[in-house]
Amino acid sequence: MPWGQVSCTARLCFSALLIATSLKTLTASDFRLAGDYVLGGLFSLHAETVGKSPFIRAEVPRCQTFNLKVVGYSFLQAMRFAVEEINNSSTLLPGVSLGYEMVDVCYHTNVVHPLLYFLANNHSRVQLQESYTCYQPRVLAVVGPDSSPGAVTMANVLSLFLIPQITYTATTESLRNPKHFPVAFRTIPSTEQMIKAMLLLLKHFHWNWVIVLIPVPRGSQMLSLEQQAKVQDIINMLHQSTAKVVLVLTLDLMLPFFFQEAVRQKVTDLVWIGTEAWATDPSLHSITNISRLGTFLGVAVREVPIPGFSTFRAKAPSNQTGGAGTWASDQGTCNQVCDRCFSAAKQREKELSDSGERTDFNVYSAVYVFAHALHRLLRCGSTGCHKRTVYPWQLLPEVRQVDFSLLNNKIRFDENGDPPNSFAIVQWRWDQDSHLFKKIAYYSTMHQKLLFGTDNISWHTPGNTVPVSICSNQCIPGQRKKPTGLHPCCFECVDCEAGTYFNESDHYNCQPCPVTHWSNARSQTCHPKVVTYLAWHDHRAVVLLIVSLLGLLTTLATLLTFAFHLRTPMVKSAGGGMCLLMLAALVICFLNILAYVGIPTEFKCVWRQTVSSFCFTLCISCIVIRSLQIVCIFRLMAKLPKAYNYWTKYKGPYIFMAVVLALKTVTLMINFLISSPAPVELPLEDNPAILVLDCKKTPAFLQMLDTALDMSLSVLCFCFAYLGKEFPKNYNEAKYITLWTTSYFTSWAILFVAITLYPGVLVPFFSALFSVVNLFGIVIGYFGPKCYIIFFHPERNTSAYFQTDIQTYTMRRK
């Protein structure tokens, strides 16, 4: 996009910048090479002091030669080496020469002046114009600077002129915005990728209790007394912390003093993880006794050896300038004709070799990016290029579209201007003269995975074991985390309770099991509950069925006996046809025991709670009527003959039975409507892992209502039997009815205790057993004596015998 399309607001902002610096006279760069197309380079060669600037004639911050930054000097040489290679190439930009203008920016404090120098034309001026579409600055593109603040500052201004910029060490996320910075590219992955690599490193070694240091970067290595005191306080806190891993997210300005102070305070046994800014800094590695601090790991740019570069870097520079220009006469700064700077760099060549040609390749590849973009723009062939005037905005889209291989590395940019480059995890070593920074892992930005190439890591711990840095030990399977503070990595391990389980999706809560499932304490899964019922093969069911079968056979035999002797005095005195009704009801009740065995069904539940209960009440009501009739004959007829006549005339026994059965029917209907009988799975209180398949329990008040009717009839039966204890022997059934009612009430008490103490499948077993006992009580207590007389004393089963017995009772009463 031509510069003339940039908004007026942007041009006015830059115009104000030009006015502010219009009184300053700009001079030439420190390193220069003439060429058809010139690239600008910004490098940090020196620390900062106060003195005469090489750019403006005033006392301002300037560079000091005695503190040469050899790493920055190596970056500069990498750019020179790349340009020289390209100029000597017959395939890339054939017949075209590249030049460079390289400036020492003293880290990130001296960016504006070199920026204006690059923007100026050959007359060292930037004139205000309506459109800069045809404006040709001193350089076609810019490599650098090496700091994130400086790179952002330059990107803001270069974006106004659409001059392509490739930074080689600035990892800031701010540059990942093509709308704000359309000219910004880089050959180093972003901070986001570096942080991801660090997090994967922490995860790999299970370190979750980490100290993170983020000091504010300073513009100078000189620290005030207040700043030194703060550093000392930080180191004191390191002594007190239980964390064994320190993540240092900082630039390298404050680190020399920081590590020296840590050594002085005898900090030991820590794992230090550094960022790309200082992970391979040989000057920090050479601090006296720094190895005592512990193990040093760092995220660094991958090492890509550049063939011939080490020899080139150690070669003395040529005094030929290669082009016209005004050179800085102040030998206090490094330039390409300064032997003093070369000598200082050569003395520290070993440090450069030991640290590896890591960021050097980023500078090297940045120059090749511009060369390939220019190659396409000039439509170069095998024999030459179409040389012409090229403006920066024309080169910009070609830079964005580059895609080539360089030393077996893919060079291209994504939509945010980031490369596909990867990081390496390095470890500092002191046991070797070379290879001070050993690669132990590789981080792929494309796959975002950490791949370890070796397990041979030297730890500072006894036995070379991996250091442990966790606030809390990991919970064992089946335990949840209970936070104990503000940090999520500090927690207590609590067992998941029975009926809950631990799910990896939520480490802080145990999940409840479904209703049909259960789990033991400290479980990770739930298992289906065991469903039990009174099965046919259960030994208790077998015993119950045998007893019920005996009762059924006994009742059927009694029924046949009474039917055969229906017209005998004994059967008539026992109730006659009503006895057959009672025995038929008892047969149904014995058959009902089958409903308690096997898988409960809705039919079985209805049968158990309606038909069986109805028949049992029918049987009791018949016994009550029989006892009441005897009382009426021997007492009521004599004392209240009129009442007795009404009782016999209006079928009192049948009315009584009808009323009782009506009450029973109403009770059963209410029970059915409120709580419809159906099979349900009921959990055991003492063992929730077991479900008892049984009929739904009747509500307590309905159970009491139903039971109250049967008990009331039993009490009446007992009272009438007691009133007839003095009646003739053949009509005196007090002791037999007392036996039955006693067994009835006793079985109720035993049933209540049994189902309270032994829940589960024993509940239907005891309920069925209770019914069998009551039925046997009636059969044996009421019908047994009469069958005994019929079979063993037939002489007593005659009308004469009964008449004699009545006469004897009448005479005794007189």
Alpha carbon distance 489, 290 (integer Å): 30
- Which residue, of 499, 528, 557, is where some domain finishes? 528
16 part of a folded domain: no
User: What residues form DSSP beta bridges with 410?
Assistant: 405
Average pLDDT for 180-203: 91
Reported as a single tens digit per residue, the pLDDT across 587-643 is: 988 888 888 888 888 888 888 878 888 888 888 888 888 777 776 666 666 566 676
Of the ranges 379-383, 547-551, 796-800, which one carries the lowest mean pLDDT score? 796-800
94 part of a folded domain: yes
Buried b (16+ CB within 10 A) or exposed e, 702-715: beebbeebbbebbe
Are 509 and 581 in the same domain? Answer: no
Of the ranges 191-200, 238-247, 677-686, which one carries the lowest mean pLDDT score? 677-686
* Residue 197 CA from chain centroid, whole number: 21
729 part of a folded domain: no
**Contact assessment for residue 370 and residue 82, using Cβ atoms and an 8 Å cutoff:** no
**Contact assessment for residue 273 and residue 298, using Cβ atoms and an 8 Å cutoff:** yes
**Looking at residue 725, what is its pLDDT?**
61
- Which residue, of 458, 493, 528, is where some domain finishes? 528
Are 499 and 614 in the same domain? Answer: no
Buried b (16+ CB within 10 A) or exposed e, 134-163: ebebbbbbbbbbbbbbbbbbbbbbbbbbbb
Q: Is the pLDDT of residue 3 over 50?
A: no
* Per-residue pLDDT band at 24 (split at 50, 70, 90): very low
Alpha carbon distance 622, 581 (integer Å): 8
Domain count, the chain: 3
Are 620 and 664 in the same domain? Answer: yes
Identify which of 26-35, 537-546, 633-642 has the greatest average pLDDT.
Answer: 537-546
* Per-residue pLDDT band at 9 (split at 50, 70, 90): very low
Are 375 and 513 in the same domain? Answer: no
172 — phi, psi (to 5°)? -60, 145
Are 84 and 181 in the same domain? Answer: yes
794 part of a folded domain: yes
Are 483 and 401 in the same domain? Answer: no
**Looking at residue 763, what is its pLDDT?**
77
The continuous run of DSSP H or E covering 285 comes out as helix 282-285
Q: Who contacts 201 (Cβ-Cβ below 8 Å, separation ≥6)? A: 273, 297, 299, 425, 441, 450
**Residue 566 half-sphere exposure, CB side, CA atoms within 13 Å?**
11
Task: Give the CATH number of the domain where residue 133 resides.
Answer: 3.40.50.2300
Q: Is the pLDDT of residue 507 over 90?
A: no
Q: Is the pLDDT of residue 22 over 50?
A: no
**Contact assessment for residue 70 and residue 348, using Cβ atoms and an 8 Å cutoff:** yes
Are 371 and 518 in the same domain? Answer: no
Q: Who contacts 46 (Cβ-Cβ below 8 Å, separation ≥6)? A: 63, 64, 65, 67, 68, 69, 104, 106, 333, 334
Q: Is the pLDDT of residue 323 over 80?
A: no
Alpha carbon distance 578, 208 (integer Å): 87
133 part of a folded domain: yes
The continuous run of DSSP H or E covering 444 comes out as strand 437-444
**Looking at residue 208, what is its pLDDT?**
85
Residue whose pair of structure tokens reads 């067994």 in the numeric block:
743
**Looking at residue 28, what is its pLDDT?**
45
Are 367 and 487 in the same domain? Answer: no
Are 613 and 569 in the same domain? Answer: yes
Q: Is the pLDDT of residue 338 over 60?
A: no
**Looking at residue 361, what is its pLDDT?**
92
198 part of a folded domain: no
Reported as a single tens digit per residue, the pLDDT across 471-488 is: 888 888 899 998 887 777
Determine whether 812 is exposed, middle or buried from the number of CB atoms within 10 Å of its CB (0-12, 13-18, 19+): exposed
* Per-residue pLDDT band at 23 (split at 50, 70, 90): very low
Are 33 and 127 in the same domain? Answer: yes
DSSP 8-state code for residue 634: I
- Which residue, of 412, 429, 451, is where some domain finishes? 412
**Looking at residue 574, what is its pLDDT?**
75
Does residue 727 sit in helix, strand or coil? coil
**Looking at residue 793, what is its pLDDT?**
85
Tokens at 619, concatenated? 């049987």
**Looking at residue 378, what is its pLDDT?**
95
**Looking at residue 65, what is its pLDDT?**
43
User: What residues form DSSP beta bridges with 648?
Assistant: none
* Per-residue pLDDT band at 412 (split at 50, 70, 90): very high
Are 490 and 597 in the same domain? Answer: no
Alpha-carbon distances of 643 from 78, 621, 648, 658, rounded to whole Å = 132, 21, 9, 20
Alpha carbon distance 176, 190 (integer Å): 8
279 part of a folded domain: no
Reported as a single tens digit per residue, the pLDDT across 440-462 is: 998 887 788 888 876 778 898 88
37 part of a folded domain: yes
Q: Please give the mean pLDDT across all residues of the chain.
A: 80
Alpha carbon distance 73, 345 (integer Å): 7
* Per-residue pLDDT band at 331 (split at 50, 70, 90): very low
Are 561 and 692 in the same domain? Answer: yes
Tokens at 257, concatenated? 């003093």
Alpha carbon distance 190, 194 (integer Å): 7
* Alpha-helix residue ranges (DSSP H) falling in 401-513: none
Range of the structural domain that residue 601 is part of: 539-629+639-706+760-769+784-812
For the chain, first and last CA: distance in Å? 140
Q: Is the pLDDT of residue 250 over 80?
A: no
Q: Is the pLDDT of residue 66 over 70?
A: no
Alpha-carbon distances of 651 from 654, 657, 687, rounded to whole Å = 6, 10, 56
